[in-house]
């Protein structure tokens, strides 16, 4: 497994360990995840086969440091895992991606006791992690959240609702942002670890979504949920800062998911046009088709290089990570939407049917432009953090 030594890699040539990791994940994904991708989408069921395969090969949360029982993979290795899983099944790629999103606040700001307990449990496969930031009235304006946490002796009592929570109901652990001092707006928000089994935690019905149908998205309800005070992540009032710092890193993983989806669509379309014949020859021989493929490949490679550069900055926690994380997520997701749409076009009428995977990839790609901050918000972030 690629170590966490600092992502010292040539942008044009990955380290041998990263290439080996890609080969291993691709083989696993094609053998154990791809065969179930269409069924997972059609039935809207959680990809349990993918979870079993990823956990069985220690690929479900590769970012967890070795001292807590994890693989200790660097940010680029994490990107490669997500990319290769997304290439065959976007829903399944949300297992490693959201495990990082949900647990990174603990890794960044939690006490040693909290890290040992929850990062250790995640690494051992005892439960997945989800991230609870958005609310019905607090989406892009996350600081406008209403969920409250009130101190009661050695406990905090949480009340409120979170919306659009990925893998809600399946995950065992939840990083929850809640208001502890309403007078201070963003500086009055704190972060907590809540367990699925805590009394007062419940879930809404799964959302009926356009894509990523295998990854449940549900509301999470907190009704007088009493949790020990030592489950606060970091100091009181630092939750929003931790949440934003987390997104700087994890937007890179959404970029990885986007390029994986796009790669899968390009690979399929490339194979199809070589087999499909019209006017007596393969349509791959027509210049109009060649130009489409060339543009798809060019934009995908640009997105990949930007994403890998952002991963290196994430690993080093560079000062311009905020810009690069937003740029990678925004550009890669826009490219993924364009490439998957073009892939459907290249397959013609077949591309519009569920008998072929590109229509699923097109639907899955759309969410990458929306979650972890819409691309409109990413452009605001970039404008405020120009290098």
Choose the weakest-confidence range: 2-6, 21-25, 60-64, 167-171: 2-6
Q: Could you tell me if 95 and 197 lie in one domain?
A: no
pLDDT band at 387 (very low <50, low <70, confident <90, very high): confident
C-alpha 40/C-alpha 93 separation (Å) is 13
Residue 291 has pLDDT above 80, yes or no: yes
How far apart (Å, rounded) are the C-alpha atoms in residues 121 and 168?
17
Q: 212-262, pLDDT tens digit by residue?
A: 999 999 999 999 999 999 999 999 999 999 999 999 999 999 999 999 999
What is the pLDDT at residue 79?
Answer: 98
pLDDT tens-digit map of 80-131: 999 999 999 999 999 999 999 999 999 999 999 999 999 999 999 999 999 9
Reported confidence tier of residue 14, pLDDT bands at 50, 70, 90: confident
Q: What CATH number is given to the structural domain containing 137? A: 2.40.110.10
Q: Is residue 8 a part of any domain in this protein?
A: no
Alpha-carbon span 61 to 70, nearest angstrom? 7
Domain of 276?
A: 241-384
Q: Check whether 8 has a pLDDT greater than 90.
A: no
- Which of 108, 123, 138 terminates a domain? The answer is 123
CATH code, domain carrying 329? 1.20.140.10
- Pairing state of beta strands 129-132 and 155-166? unpaired
Q: Give yes or no: residues 352 and 248 share one domain.
A: yes
Mean predicted lDDT score pLDDT of the chain: 96
Q: Which of the four pLDDT bands, split at 50, 70 and 90, describes residue 15? A: confident
* 51 belongs to a structural domain: yes
Residue 71 resides in a domain? yes
pLDDT at 4: 45
Its pTM stands at: 0.96
The distance of Cα 52 from the centroid of its chain, to the nearest Å, equals: 18
Q: Is the confidence at residue 375, as pLDDT, over 60?
A: yes
Total domains in the chain come to: 3
Q: Are residues 172 and 303 in the same domain?
A: no
Q: Are 147 and 271 contained in the same domain?
A: no
In this structure, are 115 and 22 located in the same domain? yes
- Domain final position from 219, 239, 259: 239
212 and 88 assigned to the same domain: no
Nearest Cα to 37, choosing from 48, 27, 23? Answer: 48
Q: Final residue of a domain: which of 239, 262, 282?
A: 239
Secondary structure element (H or E) that encloses residue 248, with its range: helix 239-275
Q: Is 372 a catalytic residue?
A: yes
In a domain, 1, yes or no: no
Inside any domain, residue 11: no
Q: Is residue 23 located within the same domain as residue 115?
A: yes
Percent of the chain surpassing pLDDT 70 = 97
Please report whether residue 339 resides in a domain: yes
116 lies in the same domain as 143:
no
What CATH number is associated with residue 31?
Answer: 1.10.540.10
Q: Is the pLDDT confidence value at 290 over 80?
A: yes
pLDDT tens figures, 264-274: 999 999 999 99
CA-CA distance, 17 to 347, in Å (whole number)? 36
**350 and 268 together in one domain:** yes
Structure-derived torsion over alpha carbons of residues 117, 123, 127, 133, reported in degrees to the nearest 10: 80
> Residue 1 above 90 pLDDT?
no
Residues 336-349 have pLDDT tens digits of 999 999 999 999 99
Residue 2 lies in a domain: no
109 and 220 part of one domain: no
Q: What's residue 5's pLDDT?
A: 42
4 inside domain = no
Q: Are residues 213 and 251 in the same domain?
A: no
């Amino acid at each position: 497994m690629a170590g966490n030594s600092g992502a010292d890699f040539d942008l044009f040539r990955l380290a041998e360990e990263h290439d080996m990791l890609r080969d291993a994940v691709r083989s696993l994904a094609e053998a154990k995840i791809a065969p179930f991708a269409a069924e997972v989408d059609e039935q809207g069921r959680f990809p349990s086969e993918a979870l079993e395969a990823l956990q069985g090969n220690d690929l479900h949360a590769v970012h967890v440091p070795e001292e807590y029982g994890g693989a200790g993979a660097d940010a680029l290795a994490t990107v490669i895992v997500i990319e290769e899983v997304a290439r065959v099944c976007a829903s399944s790629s949300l297992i490693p991606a959201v495990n990082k999103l949900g647990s990174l606040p603990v890794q960044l700001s939690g006490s040693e006791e909290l890290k040992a307990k929850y990062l250790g449990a995640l690494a051992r496969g005892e439960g997945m992690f989800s991230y609870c930031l958005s609310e019905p009235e607090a989406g892009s304006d996350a600081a406008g959240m209403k969920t409250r946490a009130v101190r009661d002796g050695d406990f905090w009592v949480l009340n409120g609702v979170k919306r659009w929570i990925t893998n809600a109901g399946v995950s065992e652990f939840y990083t929850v942002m809640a208001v502890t001092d309403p007078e201070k707006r963003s500086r009055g928000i704190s972060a907590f670890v809540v367990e699925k089994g805590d009394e007062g935690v419940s879930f809404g019905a799964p959302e009926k979504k356009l894509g990523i149908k295998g990854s449940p998205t549900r509301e999470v309800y907190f009704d007088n949920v009493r949790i020990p005070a030592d489950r606060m992540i970091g100091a009181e009032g630092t939750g929003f800062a931790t949440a934003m710092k987390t997104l700087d890193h994890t937007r890179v993983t959404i970029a990885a998911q986007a390029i994986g989806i796009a790669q899968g669509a390009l690979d399929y379309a490339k194979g199809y046009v070589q087999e499909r014949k019209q006017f007596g020859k393969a349509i791959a021989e027509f210049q109009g088709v060649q130009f489409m493929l060339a543009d798809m490949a060019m934009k995908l490679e640009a997105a990949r290089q930007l994403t890998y550069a952002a991963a290196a900055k994430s690993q080093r926690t560079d000062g311009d990570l905020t810009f690069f994380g937003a740029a990678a997520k925004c550009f890669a997701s826009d490219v993924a939407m364009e490439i998957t749409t073009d892939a459907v076009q290249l397959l013609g009428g077949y591309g519009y049917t569920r008998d072929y995977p590109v229509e699923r990839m097109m639907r899955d790609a759309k969410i990458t432009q929306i979650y972890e901050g819409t691309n409109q918000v990413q452009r605001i972030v970039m404008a405020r953090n120009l290098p």
